[in-house]
């Protein structure tokens, strides 16, 4: 039904006069008439004049008691995009703040979260930037989306589904993160009905069917709760909570529960006057019905990240019926329903920002920090999705400071939550005063102490167990920078080695030669070129040839020969761009060869490794390398030990190896028969001399009959031979 739009602005203005001054209401009116004129002749799909949409958006914001600038921005939010009126024109009419808000919302309106992950991620980054400038931008956008969801029926089915999916994936979690529960629920219900109409109808019909049976039990429980409060002379009122369709569906899907299991739980909310009454009511209901152990949560003492506060408990009711109870004050109830918008709902003009506002601002700043460190937009959206759906645990520092992290977080996540530098230099942790592995998942209520050491750096293995976006993006950022500097250093050494054949060095090549080659291969700087060489994406000797071809140096046969004879020394400290092949496990002292592998850098193989025999003499793929006399580090090697079965022999073997200062990485046993076994060991040693010392000590163990070093290509054959197979 169409209503004359002027009546609507009048009725909106009447409502606004309850909390805004006369001048502010007039400013909102002026913005409305400006929008009406700008959108003149434009209509929505429903056939209504277009101006009904901005008016409805402003109306939603007025229910949140938003300030007059937000309401003006709501009236004008489509003007820049749809009518050709510029930001400058709005600025001259309504001032800088309103123009910036309108511009921010207009940019968000251009965002379409398409199914293509890359585009979606790029757009989310823009949204984070807009939120950072002014949080009201996202509130206007949420109100805009809410009105669009309420009028979704007029759209084509595929567009309806796309908008619903986007709302469930992006806008409902943002509303939740900002504590706006009422809007989150409406987003979820409308999105669910549009995306899965048949599922929504079936669950709705099932809820209606059992509502009659539930009514009696609900009123019985409610009566007993109210009688209990009266007996204890505690002020408060009780209300039964209906479960929403989408939350029923999500629980059925994620927890694999049947509809009847979910509907067997009865939920109530008790609203009281003060915080201390909350705890007294908790005591009263716990004496009325027995509480379910482990199901009590105190979100008053430790609020959720979005500012939500309440006491939660589950009771065994009459006939063993589970009852979920939330106890909170009226202010907490308003906060739970309106979240960040309750900052505007309750604040006086001279008030400082509320806790919700500060928390929301911290969250947005956290998003921006993640954006800065994320390598690309997909990595950013992956981190944000983790951040938007937290199942929280609460942890303490030794000084009693509280941190909230997603469930499954580890000490490394905790270290990065404290500060990026603490995370980067973290080496160990104490969980509730005991030394524990960094990868151990933390539990709510634990005290975590992070032990740091100067000069340490993040371990790539951490990426396999960290949970938070902040930890993941910071580790990746650090490793990326480290890999960059290591690949540049290796690239410089490789190019210098190749240029030596032309009697030159990188630093002695004329700048014009370098610029000409960079232009040819479409790279911007020498550093980029060196990185590409270090990562194995470009061949050093081919780049050297090009550099020489552009200059006055020419390569004689003698120089070519000297180039081939010149070898690169492996120091063991090259980092992530130097890899040691897992097929042949080269160690210092072994004759070796370097294989240039695209994206990985250089992979070192033993000279006789079967896996590179085909390309061994190809100068484009392989490089002559040797061990540096000062080589450092530990290198992996595999041993096979044949021994007689005896009690405690594995322990003796392990003690002997660690006594020879070698570290055991992996150990596995294969029984040959009742008397003999074969033990396969993966060890870390310094060089061949160290390995010889380890093998000598192992041979001295009485039950050991044979010790051999294994190259993977020979493992199967050796085991078959040892087992007497033909």
pLDDT for 91 beyond 90: no
Query: How far is it, in rounded angstroms, from Cα 259 to Cα 492?
Result: 65
Cα–Cα distances (Å) from 689 to 164, 363, 543, 585, 694, in that order, read 67, 55, 38, 15, 9
Q: Which residues contact 360 (CB under 8 A, 6 or more apart)?
A: 135, 177, 178, 179, 306, 340
Average pLDDT over residues 465-474: 86
Task: Answer whether CATH 3.30.70.260 is correct for domain 635-722.
Answer: yes
- The per-residue pLDDT for 270 is 92
Q: Which segments of the chain belong to CATH 3.30.70.260?
A: 635-722
Cα–Cα distances (Å) from 661 to 427, 628, 641, in that order, read 22, 22, 18
- The per-residue pLDDT for 410 is 93
Site of tokens 């020969």: 561
Average pLDDT over residues 540-547: 74
Kindly indicate the confidence band of residue 345, based on its pLDDT and cuts at 50, 70 and 90.
very low
- The per-residue pLDDT for 668 is 86
Distance separating the N- and C-terminal Cα atoms of the chain? 88
Query: How far is it, in rounded angstroms, from Cα 436 to Cα 394?
Result: 18
Higher pLDDT, residue 678 or 85 = 678
CATH fold of 199-346, please? Beta Polymerase; domain 2 (3.30.460)
Task: Answer whether CATH 1.10.3210.10 is correct for domain 5-198.
Answer: yes
pLDDT for 720 beyond 50: no
What is the pLDDT of the chain when averaged over all its residues?
79
Query: How far is it, in rounded angstroms, from Cα 78 to Cα 44?
Result: 12
Average pLDDT over residues 170-175: 82
Query: How far is it, in rounded angstroms, from Cα 698 to Cα 700?
Result: 5
Site of tokens 């029923």: 248
Q: Which segments of the chain belong to CATH 1.10.3210.10?
A: 5-198
Q: Which segments of the chain belong to CATH 3.30.460.10?
A: 199-346
Site of tokens 């921010």: 104
Q: What is the pLDDT of residues 494-533, one digit of tens each?
A: 887 777 777 777 777 777 778 877 877 777 788 878 877 7
Q: What is the pLDDT of residues 54-65, one digit of tens each?
A: 899 999 888 877
Q: Are 273 and 329 in contact (CB under 8 A)?
A: yes
Calculate what percentage of the chain has a pLDDT beyond 70.
81
Average pLDDT over residues 646-664: 88
pLDDT for 564 beyond 50: no
Q: What is the pLDDT of residues 113-159, one digit of tens each?
A: 544 455 555 556 566 666 666 778 888 888 999 998 998 888 888 88
> Cα-atom radius of gyration of the chain, to the nearest Å?
34
pLDDT for 696 beyond 90: yes
Q: Poorest-confidence range of 268-272, 671-675, 704-708?
A: 671-675
pLDDT for 359 beyond 90: no
Show which residues are catalytic.
81-82
């Amino acid at each position: 039904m169409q209503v004359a739009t002027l009546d609507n602005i009048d009725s909106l203005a009447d409502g606004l006069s309850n909390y805004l001054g006369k001048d502010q209401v007039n400013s909102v009116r002026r913005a409305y008439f400006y929008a009406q004129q700008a959108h003149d002749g434009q209509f929505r799909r429903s056939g209504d004049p277009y101006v009904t949409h901005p008016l409805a958006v402003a109306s939603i914001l007025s229910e949140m008691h938003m300030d007059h600038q937000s309401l003006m921005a709501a009236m004008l939010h489509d003007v820049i995009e749809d009518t050709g009126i510029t930001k400058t024109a709005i600025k001259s009419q309504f001032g800088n703040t309103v123009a910036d808000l309108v511009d921010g919302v207009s940019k968000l309106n251009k965002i379409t979260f398409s199914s293509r992950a890359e585009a979606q991620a790029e757009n989310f980054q823009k949204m984070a930037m807009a939120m950072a400038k002014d949080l009201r931008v996202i509130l206007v956008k949420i109100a805009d989306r809410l009105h669009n969801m309420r009028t979704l029926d007029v759209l084509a089915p595929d567009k309806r589904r796309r908008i619903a999916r986007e709302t469930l994936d992006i806008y409902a979690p943002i509303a939740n993160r900002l504590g706006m529960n009422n809007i989150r629920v409406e987003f979820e219900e409308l999105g669910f009905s549009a995306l899965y109409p048949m599922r929504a109808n079936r669950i709705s019909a099932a809820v209606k069917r059992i509502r009659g049976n539930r009514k009696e039990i609900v009123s019985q429980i409610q009566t007993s709760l109210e009688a209990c409060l009266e007996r204890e002379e505690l002020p408060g009122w009780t209300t039964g909570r209906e479960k929403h369709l989408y939350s029923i569906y999500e629980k059925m899907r994620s927890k694999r529960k049947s509809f009847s299991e979910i509907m067997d739980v009865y939920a109530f909310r008790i609203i009281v006057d003060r915080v201390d009454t909350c705890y007294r009511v908790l005591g009263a209901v716990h004496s009325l019905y027995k509480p379910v152990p482990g199901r009590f949560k105190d979100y008053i003492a430790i609020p959720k990240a979005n500012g939500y506060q309440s006491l939660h408990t589950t009771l065994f009711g009459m006939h063993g019926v589970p009852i979920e109870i939330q106890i909170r004050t009226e202010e907490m109830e308003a906060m739970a329903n309106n979240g960040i918008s309750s900052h505007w709902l309750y604040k006086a003009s001279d008030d400082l920002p509320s806790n919700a506002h500060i928390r929301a601002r911290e969250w947005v700043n956290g998003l921006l920090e993640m954006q800065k460190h994320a390598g690309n937009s997909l990595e950013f959206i992956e981190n944000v999705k983790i951040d938007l759906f937290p199942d929280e645990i609460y942890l303490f520092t030794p000084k009693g400071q509280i941190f909230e992290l997603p469930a499954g977080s580890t000490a490394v996540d905790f270290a990065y939550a404290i500060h990026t530098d603490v995370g980067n230099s973290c080496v160990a942790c104490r969980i509730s005063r005991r030394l524990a592995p960094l990868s151990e998942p933390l539990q709510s209520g634990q005290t975590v102490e992070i032990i740091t050491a100067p000069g340490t750096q993040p371990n790539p293995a951490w990426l396999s167990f960290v949970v938070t976006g902040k930890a993941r993006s910071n580790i990746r950022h650090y490793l990326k920078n480290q890999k960059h500097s290591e690949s540049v250093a290796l690239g410089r050494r490789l190019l210098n080695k190749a240029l030596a054949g032309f009697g030159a060095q990188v630093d002695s090549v004329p700048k014009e030669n370098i610029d000409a080659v960079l232009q040819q291969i479409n790279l911007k700087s020498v550093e980029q070129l060196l990185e590409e060489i270090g990562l194995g994406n470009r061949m050093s000797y081919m780049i050297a040839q090009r550099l020489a071809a552009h200059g006055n140096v020419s390569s004689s046969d003698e120089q070519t020969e000297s180039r081939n004879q010149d070898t690169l020394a492996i120091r063991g400290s090259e980092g992530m761009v130097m890899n040691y092949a897992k097929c042949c496990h080269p160690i210092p002292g072994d004759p070796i060869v370097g294989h240039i592998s695209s994206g990985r850098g250089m992979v070192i193989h033993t000279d006789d490794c079967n896996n590179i025999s085909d390309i061994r003499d190809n100068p484009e793929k392989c490089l002559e390398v040797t061990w540096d006399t000062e080589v450092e580090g530990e290198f992996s090697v595999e041993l096979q030990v044949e021994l007689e079965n005896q009690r405690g022999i594995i322990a003796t073997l392990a003690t002997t190896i660690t006594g020879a200062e070698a570290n055991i990485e992996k150990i596995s046993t294969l029984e040959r028969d009742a008397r003999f076994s074969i033990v396969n060991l993966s060890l870390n040693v310094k060089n061949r001399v160290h390995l010889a010392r380890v093998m000598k000590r192992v041979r001295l163990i009485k039950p050991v009959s044979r010790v051999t070093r294994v190259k993977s290509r020979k493992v199967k054959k050796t085991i078959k031979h040892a087992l007497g197979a033909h």
